[in-house]
A and B are shown apart, each in its own frame.
Chain A
Amino acid sequence: MTTTDAAVPAEAVETPPVLVRMTAMAKAFGPTQAVRDASFELRSGEVHALVGENGSGKSTLVKLLSGVHAPDAGTIELLGLETPSLRTPRAAQDAGVVTVFQEVLVAEARSVLDNVWLGVDTLVRQRVGRREKRVRAREALAELLGRPLDLDKAVEELSLSERQACCIVRALLRDPRILILDEATSSLDVATRDRLFGIVSRLTRSGVGAIFITHRMDEISEIGDRITVMRSGETVATLARGSWTPRELVRLMTGSDQLTERAREDGGAVAERRGDVALSARGLRLRAGRRPMDVEIHAGELVGVAGLEGHGQDAFLDALRGAGAVDGAIVRHVGGRDEPVGSPTRAARLGVAYVPRERRQTLFGWMSIRENFGMPTLSADSRRGWLRLRLTRRRLNEYVARLGIVLGDPGDPITTLSGGNQQKVAISRWLAADPRVLLLNDPTRGIDVGAKRDLYALLTELAQEGRAVVMLSSELDEHVELMDRVLVFREHELFRELDHASLSREALVSAFFGEDGESG
């Protein structure tokens, strides 16, 4: 892999002062224990990468440090002295802790200038003069984006990556002692990302400490001086630069390198599962001006959708479920007939089911488990508008047994379930509609290993039943261990298609970075 010359200068190496020391932090949201026992240390002048699977508690941990949440337990030391837990982001910022959060947080209606300086002034006193604000904002943005940005433009008129740039600049302008970047590069283009790394290493040289959360191995290896790995709410290891391999990281993150219970099926098994084409995309463009793609999804196969974050995987799934492709056609093949998939409703009618990524987008907060379970299949479960609750109940029980969903009473609010079980409900409720093609958007995101196993087992089962499963995942091993073939996306194009034989972590990673096939 490539490593730029943004290496850490010598003087910073011999143990510099500790900026942050978090010990035995814990934080729970209702039944879900987001962080259970996390300890973390940040030294002056280092970039400390924080890695772990989705939902392993990284974000929560940094939110504890940046005053968004108050910890249930644990102590935070800032610059050597014990601090009473930081109650608000403001408090944290005054203490020199500045965070760029995972969400792209902007005030859409306000100008770029207002956005980057938001919260610096008090309500009555200007901490920074107007002219100075403009000058510094312009410089910072230019340095990051490599081109000037109209300071008076409303942020809602900017592209996503420009917005994220605003968030980053907002943090930089506060002259942080401790800079936290929580997946802050997810929607930046590569050049901007490199410029950001340049800025970060400049800051660290001047004694700033940076905490860096990312999913991209290459980024870690590029600027990470130390790495702390988190798994299901705990910090499991802290490794110094060079003393780790991707493989090992993955093992640490997942807790095992054998993900699926069963030994991986051989090609033969896969071949016989595979049926005729169930769903196909013809001349599909995910963005204007990109290379069109033709994809065929067969019945009974497990197709992985992979790529670096924000390279078009989500757009691809959306297209498949009939929601907004730029151009091209999605066709569902049912019993010899070709049915165009126009809208999500149409797609559903043709047996294409989609499970979104965000649980916030799938669950109905206060409603009961049973109601949540029954939602997508309302029409199926009702005769002339009348709900036949028995059907729903029976099916729910069936899936509870099949997926080992742990729940008290199906009448309880869905919010009483743990993340994994919520996800199981979210998926199983679509299975209840007996879809022929199942589109899953990173379903194992933020659920514990046990739950993952169950899901994998389920998905294989589904494939064996002759359903086509298309699954977007941000985890390499899921692809390697589970998929029959993997579609790797890059810059919103189908970059490569790895079939069962040629499927390996290295192959994937190299494909992610657009390296030609065999090497890496």
Chain B
Amino acid sequence: MRESGSRSRHVRAWIAAVGLLGVVAAIAVATATSSASASPAKAARATQACGQDVSYINKIKDPDGVFKKLPANIQARYGPWPYSVRATPWEAFKGKKPPWKIGLITFPVGSPWLADLIKQVGVEFDKAKAKGLTSGSLVKYIQASYATATPEQQAAAVQQMVRQGVDGILLLPLAGPPLVPAIDAAGKAGVPVVITDNVIDGSKYVVNVWSQNNSPAAAGVAGLVKKGNILFVRGIAGNPVEQAFQDAAVADVKACPGLKIVGTVWGKWTNATATAEVAKWLAAHPDVKVDGVIQNGIMMAGIIQAFLQAGRPVPPISGGGCQGGELSWWLAHKSTYKSVATCFNGFQTAWSEFRILLRILNGNGLKVRDIHVPVPVVTNSNLSVFATPGKPLSWPGEPRGPISGWAPNSFLDGYFNKPGNPKGF
């Protein structure tokens, strides 16, 4: 019961208003502080031709002068690499005597790519063990669920593994920056941490192995479309890697004067969300013709789904980080559908990552901290090599390809003073 209910209600109304104002103010302030997209994109625009992927090569930050020392053919691999290329303490690393204890840390498994990667690392580990390169069993820390996963837990895992006497760690960061201190600490303790699916620019001891795998696809689609409306489908807001992808993609689009960016939605790097958000956008813009979609990675199938749902023709969609389902669909519509994708699978990643780690541990002398792995570009012409025929669009499979198809030994040799894998592994 309430005496003078009306008064209290007035009060409440007021409070609501005040709260609202506060929020608005917050938005204003926040907006004021939020800045536009990254600079490299702008810088790169001048020299870039439509359909050609953005290239930062002549802008690459090279404070240690290591990049210049790399052979030209290797330098050439760094086209869309947006970060700096640094020297690494592991060049001087004398290596340890095998067998080594290996650790694997990953964020929660949400995609077949990661599932396959984990599987393959296990396989490689056992093969190496047979050769007496590794000992014990693979030390794993795979986070349970996104609801309770934090990068701090991964940092703790790194430290824990170092304490347990692990010699080298493969790491898939939930988020890059928070892991810097842990990785550097591990490095100081002589434990190399090789990361992928993310780039940690702030760390001295980290080893970045990364594919700027979206921008070639973006550029390809831009070139394919040339003139018309482009819809951007971005990943998770506030994620550094996402931003890097986006910057490159924007640069690629800007390179084509005929292209117009008509909208941006956020698909959170999941097909489900991508479908929903694109569907919303399409519903809101029934009369806007979308000639091409550029997505931030692993959302192609979801976007196709949205267009099919909307009963609209499916435009070229950049297939950065392609997945099996969309490839099969594409294959099925090969005659009518054109697009550009970049594809590699978890097995390949694991295969190369593992070898890189072994080489470091063996003291082969890594030349640079940052390894950029260019990814095979998939077009209608070579589609059949990667696609598995006869699968549904939502099939959670992976692109096909030889296990060494991502970063073969020959590729790796370029990065090490002493080529070859230990014990001819």
Chains A and B in contact, CB within 8 Å: yes
For residue A158, CB closer than 8 A to chain B, the reply is: no
B325 to chain A, nearest CB (A): 46
7 A-B contacts, Cβ less than 8 Å apart? A28-B3, A29-B1, A29-B3, A30-B1, A69-B3, A70-B3, A415-B1
Indicate with 1 or 0, residue by residue over B3-14, a CB within 8 angstroms of chain A CB atoms: 100000000000
B9 to chain A, nearest CB (A): 15
**Chain A residues whose C-beta falls within 8 Å of the C-beta of B3 in the assembled complex:** 28-29, 69-70
Q: How many residues of A contact B (CB 8 A)?
A: 6
CA distance A317 to B1 in the complex (A): 29
CA distance A415 to B1 in the complex (A): 9
Indicate with 1 or 0, residue by residue over B86-111, a CB within 8 angstroms of chain A CB atoms: 00000000000000000000000000
CA distance A189 to B406 in the complex (A): 88
Binding site for A on B (CB under 8 A): 1, 3
CA distance A30 to B5 in the complex (A): 10
A510 to chain B, nearest CB (A): 41
* Closest A residue, CB atoms, query B1: A29
B229 to chain A, nearest CB (A): 53
CA distance A30 to B1 in the complex (A): 8
B349 to chain A, nearest CB (A): 56
**Chain B residues whose C-beta falls within 8 Å of the C-beta of A28 in the assembled complex:** 3
CA distance A455 to B1 in the complex (A): 26
**Chain A residues whose C-beta falls within 8 Å of the C-beta of B1 in the assembled complex:** 29-30, 415
* Closest B residue, CB atoms, query A69: B3
A209 to chain B, nearest CB (A): 27
A466 to chain B, nearest CB (A): 40
Q: Which of A1-39 contact B (CB under 8 A)?
A: 28-30
A502 to chain B, nearest CB (A): 44
CA distance A70 to B4 in the complex (A): 10
Total number of residue pairs linking A and B with CB closer than 8 Å: 7
Q: Which of A409-425 contact B (CB under 8 A)?
A: 415
CA distance A69 to B2 in the complex (A): 11
CA distance A28 to B1 in the complex (A): 11
**Secondary structure type dominating chain B contacts:** loop
Q: Which 7 A-B pairs have the closest CB atoms?
A: A29-B1, A30-B1, A69-B3, A29-B3, A70-B3, A415-B1, A28-B3
B8 to chain A, nearest CB (A): 13
* Closest B residue, CB atoms, query A70: B3
Q: Which of A28, A30, A69, A415 has the most CB of B within 10 A?
A: A30
**Chain B residues whose C-beta falls within 8 Å of the C-beta of A30 in the assembled complex:** 1
* Closest A residue, CB atoms, query B5: A30
A366 to chain B, nearest CB (A): 12
Q: Which of A24-78 contact B (CB under 8 A)?
A: 28-30, 69-70
CA distance A355 to B3 in the complex (A): 28
B194 to chain A, nearest CB (A): 54
CA distance A30 to B3 in the complex (A): 7
* Closest B residue, CB atoms, query A29: B1
**Chain B residues whose C-beta falls within 8 Å of the C-beta of A29 in the assembled complex:** 1, 3
* Closest B residue, CB atoms, query A415: B1
Indicate with 1 or 0, residue by residue over A461-482, a CB within 8 angstroms of chain B CB atoms: 0000000000000000000000
**Chain B residues whose C-beta falls within 8 Å of the C-beta of A69 in the assembled complex:** 3
A516 to chain B, nearest CB (A): 47
CA distance A305 to B3 in the complex (A): 36
A249 to chain B, nearest CB (A): 31
Indicate with 1 or 0, residue by residue over A62-100, a CB within 8 angstroms of chain B CB atoms: 000000011000000000000000000000000000000
CA distance A69 to B3 in the complex (A): 9
CA distance A184 to B3 in the complex (A): 26
**Chain B residues whose C-beta falls within 8 Å of the C-beta of A415 in the assembled complex:** 1
B288 to chain A, nearest CB (A): 48
* Closest B residue, CB atoms, query A71: B3
Indicate with 1 or 0, residue by residue over A379-416, a CB within 8 angstroms of chain B CB atoms: 00000000000000000000000000000000000010
A254 to chain B, nearest CB (A): 27
A13 to chain B, nearest CB (A): 39
B5 to chain A, nearest CB (A): 9
CA distance A207 to B414 in the complex (A): 101
A27 to chain B, nearest CB (A): 8
* Closest B residue, CB atoms, query A32: B1
* Closest B residue, CB atoms, query A27: B3
Indicate with 1 or 0, residue by residue over A415-457, a CB within 8 angstroms of chain B CB atoms: 1000000000000000000000000000000000000000000
CA distance A29 to B1 in the complex (A): 8
B407 to chain A, nearest CB (A): 63
CA distance A29 to B3 in the complex (A): 6
A87 to chain B, nearest CB (A): 12
* Closest B residue, CB atoms, query A72: B3
CA distance A427 to B3 in the complex (A): 27
CA distance A407 to B160 in the complex (A): 72
CA distance A28 to B3 in the complex (A): 8
Q: Which of A295-348 contact B (CB under 8 A)?
A: none
* Closest B residue, CB atoms, query A28: B3
Q: Which of A119-140 contact B (CB under 8 A)?
A: none
CA distance A346 to B3 in the complex (A): 41
CA distance A69 to B4 in the complex (A): 11
A88 to chain B, nearest CB (A): 14
A416 to chain B, nearest CB (A): 12
CA distance A69 to B1 in the complex (A): 12
* Closest B residue, CB atoms, query A365: B1
B195 to chain A, nearest CB (A): 50
A359 to chain B, nearest CB (A): 12
B2 to chain A, nearest CB (A): 9
B3 to chain A, nearest CB (A): 7
A64 to chain B, nearest CB (A): 11
A316 to chain B, nearest CB (A): 31
A362 to chain B, nearest CB (A): 16
CA distance A370 to B1 in the complex (A): 20
A133 to chain B, nearest CB (A): 35
A450 to chain B, nearest CB (A): 23
B250 to chain A, nearest CB (A): 55
A200 to chain B, nearest CB (A): 31
A142 to chain B, nearest CB (A): 40
A367 to chain B, nearest CB (A): 15
CA distance A150 to B3 in the complex (A): 40
CA distance A28 to B2 in the complex (A): 10
**Chain B residues whose C-beta falls within 8 Å of the C-beta of A70 in the assembled complex:** 3
B339 to chain A, nearest CB (A): 57
CA distance A60 to B177 in the complex (A): 63
CA distance A415 to B5 in the complex (A): 14
A417 to chain B, nearest CB (A): 13
B37 to chain A, nearest CB (A): 50
